Amino acid sequence: MRFARFDLLGRVLEVREGDFGDHLVLIDGRVVSHKSMGFWVGGSSHFFELTSEEGEKLHIEVQVRGWRFRFTPAFLLADGAEMAALELVSRRHMQRRCPYCVYSLVGLTVENDEVKCPECGRHSSLAVLGLKKGAKIVPRHARDLGA
Ligand SMILES: [Zn+2]
């Protein structure tokens, strides 16, 4: 399975590509869109609405486009404007990388349940990185994640 996580309006957006080619979009662990043949038809688009903390409704679109050797590209749009380019990679890979630029975060210190990427300067919450609350450092091995 390949996946990418993104902090969207304070929620955890997750895009998954399953081993049988299905594409899923989850918000806080709940499936909001599912295309079972996504991979086999070269990609898939997912549309749903999300309400911001200010009560503003946003039209979210997630486009999963094809497949590459190391990752599957996906694009996140809000009200038609591109918000982020995501790279779906294997779980083993991603839990130690910045979801914005895929820079390795191994060994970095966690502050206020967040890790600051030294490459792009963006903060990622432990939830987005798939790490347990209270973690002090980003572990090297998946087996150290306790997840
Ligand atoms: Zn980064």
Compute, in angstroms, the gap from residue 97 CA to the centroid of ligand 1.
Answer: 8
Clarify whether residues 29 and 78 are in a common domain: yes
Compute, in angstroms, the gap from residue 43 CA to the centroid of ligand 1.
Answer: 25
Clarify whether residues 119 and 48 are in a common domain: no
By C-alpha distance, which of 22, 14, 18 is closest to 2? Answer: 18
User: What's residue 43's pLDDT?
Assistant: 93
Compute, in angstroms, the gap from residue 110 CA to the centroid of ligand 1.
Answer: 14
Residue that finishes a domain, picked among 62, 78, 93: 93
Could you read off the pLDDT of 80-101 as tens digits, one per residue?
A: 999 999 989 887 666 678 877 7
Could you read off the pLDDT of 105-141 as tens digits, one per residue?
A: 989 999 999 999 999 999 998 888 888 888 898 887 6
Read off the CATH number of the domain in which 58 is found.
2.40.128
Compute, in angstroms, the gap from residue 41 CA to the centroid of ligand 1.
Answer: 31
Residue that finishes a domain, picked among 93, 116, 137: 93
Clarify whether residues 89 and 73 are in a common domain: yes
